[in-house]
Amino acid sequence: MAEKSSELFDKIVNLSKRRGIVFQSAEIYGGFRSTYDYGPIGVLMLRNVKDAWWRSMVQLRTDVVGLDASILSPPAVWEASGHLATFTDPLVDCKNCGARHREDKLDDPTQCPTCGVKGELTEPRDFNLMFKTHAGPVVDEGAVAYLRPETAQGMFINFSNVQVTSRKKPPFGIAQIGKSFRNEITPGNFVFRTREFEQMEMEFFVAPEEAEKWHEYWCQERLNWYIDHGMSKDNVCLREHTQDELSHYSSATYDVDFKFPWGWDELEGIAYRGDYDLTQHSEHSGKPLEYFDQVNNKRYRPHVIEPAAGATRTMMAFLMDAYHEEEVNGETRTVLRLHHRIAPYKIAVLPLSKKPDLQGKSQEVFTKLASQWMCDYDETQAIGKRYRRQDEIGTPYCVTVDFDTLEDNAVTVRERDTMEQVRLPIEELATWFAERLS
């Protein structure tokens, strides 16, 4: 089983490189550890993960609005949030081989997992994970700025701006997708833990007495999001944090965990943060971050439920969950059984041959479909090979334009998972796909 899992991990890394999903960053200079570039297929898939999240969290709801806050911020924000003091991991060094580890991730806290020697690890030191820089030309303490290690604080410090301008009342949420940066001690497992990554976070502000109810609601809602987007129920679950795992701001947290090749690990945390953040920023900024409930003539500080997911990590989980190999006519077919909303391309248009009149017709079909869906166009190699290439990147449908098309104005549509084919008039394609790709 373990062997099978690590095999899957290698297959995903290879597929990612071979098909332009994820590349090692600065590869021509030997690579820059723990940073990755998303290639032509990866950028589509990552964008689809983020769009699917935004659709569920913002577009389809009346109680959540969006925000895009800055990445650079002054120390005051991180002083108030508690990150300057407590956003640390326990760092240990091995005196034998020099390797560095996060003590809280070691199976045996006395043994170095790199060289295997016992009793040579130093006492843990708190290592702050925030990237520090300087804004402007003068490099002094007054110019210190930080790259955000989470997007959440942008939502808290804009609480009043957003609440007043959107005229929302609790319960309501602010959602944001964007890059975050953490100087991780032990990045690794491909894009699972990197120093630069993307998050999808939502802060949901509620009356204190309703917090528990909303926490339960969001845990269920977020677990269902992964399943509704095609993830196997056997590969995702909710897990409650133990007391010693809880962050400094949280009194209860559940994680959505995914069955990665190395075991169950976190995709998303759904934390009950109480009024910690709004209180901290009120006290440090001197601005009251509260809500005045006119109906009950009551002023209060809302409590917060936060579903915080990683976009890049989630994309990797979708790749692993969707990866299948099967025997077809004595050959191995690799297929990504991705939900159509996550699949990089929805449709591939494939002319049977490179004859100019077939190309012309195919371009016509492509232009028609591409105005509504992300489509690929491929005219190289034999048709069977092209189907396999599309299966491997999870394209749900292939449309083949053949010589009969020139006579009957119809095309063959092949479905990825069943490999079944149907013949459809070109003029019916848009309606047919609209029913299946919404």
Is residue 395 close enough to count as binding ligand ATP by CB under 6 A? no
Is residue 182 close enough to count as binding ligand ATP by CB under 6 A? yes
**Closer CB to ligand ATP, 194 or 400, in the complex:** 194
**Residue ranges in 59-118 that form contacts with ligand ATP under rule CB under 6 A:** none
**Closer CB to ligand ATP, 73 or 194, in the complex:** 194
Determine the interface stretch with ligand ATP among 8-16, 306-314, 356-364, 418-426 (rule: CB under 6 A): 306-314
Residue from 81, 199, 400, 412 binding ligand ATP (CB under 6 A): 199
Joined tokens for residue 238: 């909710």
Q: How far is the CB of 166 from ligand ATP (least distance, A)?
A: 25
Residue from 130, 289, 309, 369 binding ligand ATP (CB under 6 A): 309
Nearest to 309 by CA among 318, 298, 321: 318
The strand pairing partners of 204, in sequence order, are 173, 305
# residues near ligand ATP by CB under 6 A: 16
Task: Return the amino acid letter for 280.
Answer: Q
Burial 142-171 (b: 16+ CB within 10 A, else e): eeebbbbbbbbbbbbbbbbebbeeeebbbb
Q: How far is the CB of 277 from ligand ATP (least distance, A)?
A: 13
- The angle that helices 311-322 and 2-18 make with each other, rounded to 10 degrees, is 110
**What x/- string results for residues 150 through 169 when contact with ligand ATP is judged by CB under 6 A?**
x-------------------
Task: Return the amino acid letter for 317.
Answer: A
Determine the interface stretch with ligand ATP among 50-58, 263-271, 321-329, 403-411 (rule: CB under 6 A): 263-271
DSSP state of 334: E
CB atoms < 10 A from the CB of 211, how many?
Answer: 23
- Residue given tokens 């597929």 in the structure block: 15
Q: How far is the CB of 179 from ligand ATP (least distance, A)?
A: 11
What percent of the residues of the chain are helix, what percent strand, and what percent coil, each to the nearest 5? 35, 30, 30
**Closer CB to ligand ATP, 86 or 161, in the complex:** 86
| Interacting residues of 120 by C-beta distance below 8 A, sequence separation 6+ | 94, 95, 96, 112
**Closer CB to ligand ATP, 129 or 144, in the complex:** 129
Residue from 211, 308, 393, 398 binding ligand ATP (CB under 6 A): 308
- Residue given tokens 């591939």 in the structure block: 348
Residue ranges in contact with ligand ATP by CB under 6 A? 150, 182, 184, 193-194, 197, 199, 266-269, 308-310, 312-313
